[in-house]
Amino acid sequence: MNPVDCEDVKRNVHEFLHAQMQTGQQEDITAHLANCESCEEHYDIEVVFNQVIQRSCDEAPAEELAQRVMQRLREVQVHD
């Protein structure tokens, strides 16, 4: 196991959350998070942030917004 510092964790938290790193790196960051309250808080914020983004992407736009976007697309197509 390689020592990981707070900067390593903060720099790689996105990849860690999405399991996009090698197993050894994942284990090193997990061990660091278990012993560092500051990084654990940073990780928790990142988790919530990702959840908000996911929910926002799953929601359908308001009907009025969808109509305005479609109207604007039609206008752009007519002028091209």
Give the model confidence (pLDDT) of 15-71 as tens digits: 998 889 898 999 999 999 999 999 999 999 999 998 888 887 777 777 888 888 889
Q: Is there a domain that residue 15 lies in?
A: yes
Number of domains comprising the chain: 1
Angle, CA of 6, 31 and 29, to the nearest 5°: 50
Vertex 15 angle, CA 8 and 50, to 5°? 110
Provide the pLDDT for residue 42: 92
In a domain, 24, yes or no: yes
Residue 1 resides in a domain: no
Mean of the pLDDT values across residues 1-24?
88
pLDDT for residue 78 is more than 90: no
Range of the domain at 65: 6-79
Q: State how far the Cα of 34 lies from the Cα of 74, in Å rounded to an integer.
A: 54
